[in-house]
Chain A
Amino acid sequence: MFRKIKELFKSITTQIVDTIKYRTVSPEEVEELVNEVLLRLVEADVAYDAANIIATRLKERLLNAKIPRSEKVEDFAIGLLRSTLLEILKRGVSEINLLSMSSERKPLKIVFMGVNGVGKTTTIAKVAYMFKKHGLKPVIVAADTFRAAAQEQLREHSKKLGVPFVGGKYGADPASVAFDGIAYAYKHGLDAVLIDTAGRMHVDVDLMNELRKIVRVSKPDLKILVLDALTGNDAIEQARVFNEYVGVDAVILTKVDADAKGGAALSVIIGIDKPILYLGTGQRYEDLVPYDPELILKLLL
């Protein structure tokens, strides 16, 4: 009998201790904080809808949180935001390792795709450089037979890198160029085939069908979407449509050196839940770094 009273008494004391030691935040306070966070995220180029998802998650956590009285609510909220963001960003880390994959597959076939001007061609040169640096032999394939000088641009890169190059005539079928590139790699026992495709708007049905054909013919091991880190809300839309049309295995984010906040990373992870392989951080061949959630977090906050 006494035991029960004792327990009851104990639970009351813990309750009192809790109210003294911890407190909760009022819904109004939470609302205000979360709104501020939402705008900050949008300012960091997280697409509005993705930012909204994060903000809602933060709101739920804040409403139920017991905050130590010694801690400022703002600090507590920022800590919570950090962990929420990091949790999402970590989903972008992948098991994919291009180098080890290439020795397994021999050759590893990668198709690079994306909308116009995001940096596909330069990224391919950087990836080729990385392969070479690790003693592996890639071939660069220019399946962009549309844009003026796309062929010359890649040929110059491959010359500088000392990497074989397979191209095609302007107006030629890009799928057949890709096929030639792969045949070349098999014949010469190369480790990787890096296929460049023309930039295309995700809403252009004909060009998306052309991309589908390239993928069907070349049967790539990886389809990598190249995204510009300076992109705002459209990042989700681009990722979503490419994923629907041909499927995206991983993403490379470029132009991160342009003081971009890296919000596009969050948009991609929330939007299509795909890993991010690398970040492009400049115009030089070395300017390609592995994706690091902590780094993006630092840019974001």
Chain B
Amino acid sequence: MNVLENLKKIVSDFLRGKEPYEIAVENFVKELQKTLLRADVNVKLVLELTKNIRERALKERPPPYISKQEWFIKIVYDELSSLFGGDIKPQVFPVKTPYIIMLVGVQGSGKTTTAAKIAYFYKRYGYRPCLICTDTYRPAAYEQLYQLSKQIDVPFCGDPKSSDPIDIAKKCLSYCINNNTNIIIIDTAGRHGYGEEEYLLKEMQDIAKAVNPDEVMLIIDASIGQKAYDLALRFHSATPIGSIVITKLDGTAKGGGALSAVAATKAIIKFIGTGEKIPELEVFDPRRFVGRILGLGDL
């Protein structure tokens, strides 16, 4: 059963009950709130979303020949999909080359693995990707991306001796361009940007200034909780986020935090990571994701 069918069943179950329509709506909205909160969607977003749904469901009248059930389900689906920018599969192929992508995110969200996955994805479509490591903090960050680049046979650039990420970014960018590559993927150090790490947001800005990326990609862990909204907002105000990759969707996390990040940044979700191996990257499919958030079936 597809997601929409499933959702329909839940709604009609609600509406088929003996309660009057208003109470059925109220009950459904409560249930929906619970589901979204369990999926880690930001509390304020949930309240706003369900408020809209309730208002529309109670005020607007269904057009002729359309049942209340169908009308209600349409409202729920509309509101949910407008949360992450609509029902369209994202466009992942660049409009120009060379195309520079800069990856940012919190420690451990999966940036380095994702960098290699994206390189591999584009390589398979005939692009010539190049990987750059600018993480000068984490031990063996250079080796990690280097090993991954060897596995997928893609040019790699970095400097394990340097501690200046901006300088590395600049030098490696010209290395990649001189090597006739056309998708340049820049991996950066993990940062959360709170407290003592505030200066790391500035550093991220400086790297962006130095390389002028065509796209800044926020890598976000599917299991992240309520902090996702604020975190994404902080990253976004430092360096406008163009797209989002949700990682580790092979676990049990529902990924609602990522949805909250989307709402905060108005960026689009492009890819999802579904495993630790390099080919385990998929183009984002909004419908399936809404299904997952609602706990209807799996990917």
Contacts and interface: CB of A to CB of B under 8 A. Distances in A.
Contacts of A258: 106, 192, 194, 197, 227, 231
A249 interface: no
Question: Residue among A148, A153, A237, A264 with the most chain B CB within 10 A?
Answer: A148
Given A230-B224, A233-B39, A255-B107, A116 B276 contact: yes
Interface stretch (B20-28, B203-211, B248-256): B248-256
Nearest to A198: B276
A152 B141 CA distance: 9
Q: Number of contact residues on B: which range applies? A: 35 or more
B108 A117 contact: yes
B223 to A, nearest CB: 4
Interface string B259-272: 00000000000000
A233 B40 contact: yes
Given A42-B37, A149-B140, A202 B252 contact: yes
Given A117-B108, A117-B221, A234-B223, A148 B143 contact: yes
Interface string B127-168: 000000000011111011111100100000000000000000
B251 A152 contact: no
B248 A117 contact: yes
B261 to A, nearest CB: 12
Given A148-B148, A232-B40, A257 B197 contact: yes
Given A257-B195, A257-B197, A258-B194, A232 B248 contact: no
Question: Residue among B137, B140, B148 with the most chain A CB within 10 A?
Answer: B140
Interface string B172-204: 000000000000000000001011110000000
A191 interface: no
A257 B140 contact: no
A203 B298 CA distance: 13
B16 to A, nearest CB: 26
B251 A201 contact: yes
A150 B106 CA distance: 19
Given A157-B139, A228-B108, A255 B192 contact: yes
A204 interface: yes
Contacts of B106: 230, 255, 258
Nearest to B223: A234
A-B CB proximity, top 5 nearest: A232-B225, A117-B108, A149-B144, A258-B192, A156-B139
Interface of B: 34, 37-40, 43, 47, 106-110, 112, 137-141, 143-148, 151, 192, 194-197, 221-227, 230-231, 248, 250-254, 256-257, 276
